[in-house]
Amino acid sequence: MALLRVEGLKTYFKTMSGYVKAVDGVSFEVEGGKATGLAGESGCGKTTVALSILRILPFNGEIRDGKIMFKGRDLLKLDEDEVREEIRWKEISIVFQGAMNALNPVYTVADQMVEAIMVHEPDVTRKEALERCAKLMELVGIDPSRINNYPHEFSGGMRQRAMIAMALACNPSILIADEPSTALDVIVAAQVLKLLKELKMKLNLGMILITHDLSIIAELCEKTAIMYAGKIVEYGDVVAIFKEPLHPYTQGLISAFPNITGKRQKLVSIPGAPPDLLAPPPGCRFHPRCNYAKGKCKIEEPAFIEISKGHYVACHKVESEFYGKKW
Ligand code: SF4
């Protein structure tokens, strides 16, 4: 059963030139002990989805529509105090992109973790918080005796692990990891991803993994949502999508990625660039870059239809192939 269900989420940013439709009708689910990946090019709205779930949008961000159902409650109906006191950190926490640089250099790692715990759980004493920190450090593979070190005494990988530990400090049900391995070298990145995979199973954590790197999705996630220009164009089981990607954009992303196990083949990039979300193209937003686009694609937005159990695609071509609908 889904722990978190995002339904028809729309988040826009107000600018001097109009509204940027960063997230425009996004729906997906996260289950306990499983990871859902949000994948797509930069600027497709992945991080905005995360900021909307935690209600930490910048001042010009507005959630226009949708529901974010978590444990029977719509998070969008809670007021700011309820979200701060009951949801952020305690139920849903986030490791931001480049989080390892977010540690304050003038405080020890222990001080920063203790503060995070005591702010969210005022009844916890400093001694108890310190004990919890030591356990969390052990959980993420850092010698607990290092908690009194300053961030500069940690390597990049250790700082990233410390940030993951901090995000887990209040025992959340869901962890959002935004590009968790960016800026790490490949060996350390692999260790951090392995850690996330272990934590997901050990703590029965629901996870939202935001990345542009499809290999991370393949390694860590059970489900994935492929996002393009603020919309999900394909969603479903990771194995099914990687085995037989149906949406032309998903096919393009997979073809642009090296396959280390299959035959050597030429990588093909997707021509063009994502659209300006101030004025996205009418019809299918991918049509200016799609090799299969026809007249209908330029006028009518494709519906998000279920092709097989739990596998959804928004494309006129796919709809016509599976349901014989004229396009
Ligand atoms: Fe391409 Fe048309 Fe499908 Fe959009 S709806 S992905 S333009 S075929």
Contact 93, 170 (CB under 8 A): yes
Query: Which of 219, 203, 202 is CA-nearest to residue 211?
Result: 219
- Residue type present at position 157: G
Contact 64, 48 (CB under 8 A): no
Q: How far apart are CA 179 and CA 93, in angstroms?
A: 14
pLDDT at 256: 82
pTM exceeds 0.85, yes or no: yes
pLDDT at 277: 94
233 lines ligand 1 (CB under 6 A): no
3-state secondary structure of 52: helix
- Pick from 226, 285, 317 the residue to mutate for probing ligand 1's pocket: most ligand atoms within 8 Å of its CB: 317
Looking at domain 4-91+172-322, its CATH superfamily turns out to be: P-loop containing nucleotide triphosphate hydrolases (3.40.50.300)
- 97 Cα: distance to centroid of ligand 1 (angstroms): 31
Q: How far apart are CA 238 and CA 258, in angstroms?
A: 17
Q: How far apart are CA 203 and CA 313, in angstroms?
A: 32
Domain ranges for the chain, please list them. 4-91+172-322, 107-171
- Pick from 231, 249, 250, 286 the residue to mutate for probing ligand 1's pocket: most ligand atoms within 8 Å of its CB: 286
Contact 19, 85 (CB under 8 A): no
pLDDT at 251: 95
The pLDDT tens digits along the chain (327 residues) read 799 999 999 999 999 999 999 999 999 999 999 999 999 999 999 999 999 999 999 999 999 999 999 999 999 999 999 999 999 999 999 998 877 778 899 999 999 999 989 988 989 999 999 999 999 999 999 999 999 999 999 998 899 899 999 999 999 999 999 998 877 788 888 888 898 999 999 999 999 999 988 989 999 999 999 999 999 999 999 999 999 999 999 999 988 877 767 777 777 888 889 999 999 999 999 999 999 999 999 999 999 999 999 999 999 999 999 888 777
